[in-house]
Amino acid sequence: MQNVSIWSEGFGAEADVPVLLIMGSMSQGILWPDEFVGRLAAGGRRVVRYDHRDTGMSDTVDFATAPYTWNDIKNDVYRVLEAHGLDSAHLVGHSAGGLLGQLIAVEAPERVRSLTVIASSPLGGGEGQVLVRALTGRPQPEGALPGPGPEFVEFFRSLVCAPPARDRRAAIEGMIAEQRVLHGTGLPFDEDAARRLQERVYERARDLSAAANHRLAAGAGPDFEPVDALHRVRAPTLVVEGTHEPVKPGHGAVIAGRVPGARLMRVAGMGHTLPSQIHQELAEAILAHTAE
């Protein structure tokens, strides 16, 4: 799969401290908001964001003839670093991007100057099984990670029965509805901003449906290390979790408890997305964490 072309872009001066932003599953790099990225660049960071394979302007893959796993998606992170001439960088990962950051911090500690994990689950913690049990109504066993909130479960159950969007308008309305659920209930939801973002996501996607291949990749191979691998993380680690996280509530505290010296930051009102209300607080925390 080394022939897959990955779209990326950089901000700031090449001599600045490098920060690589890794977005979550099925998500384009522009879900790292421009304003937030700009705050990091203005703070003296060389910021890189990119589209995962099968999202945005990166190549799409015929999964039936050329399947891949999340190990391949993880290896794309190394390829982005190399494309920008970086031997190492501060990694900032959101949701599944945080899982990728954790794995790289274990696998290649020399590539990770620091790690910031946002709205994510612990490496090897069985996140996928927790989600499946929640969506199918099965109880979570003792010791499992906390399951998602009821609003999230209800919304994604409804998606299973919903027909595919008929046109651009219907697709964007569905994407806004999903963003509203992921936003959570702690802060006002800006529907106009959500519409602008999802219109941009729609317009720049080579094939919007290709992102579903990430779900197939999750079942194509056991890629992530056992849960006890987190004690091997040596990079200074900041774990960020919103007080109104609807998908992975309490998972950040688990990560912080397992990574030596990790610091947990709880952001008031934040859900699973990165709305404008939290940009300044989050950017300031990351700038402090990545200071060299």
* Domain count along the chain: 1
1 within a domain of the structure (yes/no): no
Among 11-15, 51-55, 139-143, 245-249, whose mean pLDDT is lowest?
139-143
The DSSP-derived string for 140-198 is PPTTPPPPPPHHHHHHHHHHHHSPPP-SHHHHHHHHHHHHHHHH-SSS---HHHHHHHH
2 within a domain of the structure (yes/no): no
Range of the domain at 44: 8-289
85-102 mean pLDDT: 97
The percent of residues in the chain predicted with pLDDT above 70, rounded, is: 97
Domain of residue 219, CATH code:
3.40.50.1820
Provide the angle, in degrees to the nearest 10, between the axes of the packed helices 191-204 and 168-183: 130
121 alpha-carbon distance from chain centroid: 10
pLDDT in tens, 70-84: 999 999 999 999 999
Q: The whole model's pTM is what?
A: 0.96
- Judge whether residue 226 has pLDDT over 70: no
Considering only residues 136 and 178, tell me which one the structure prediction assigns the higher pLDDT.
Answer: 178
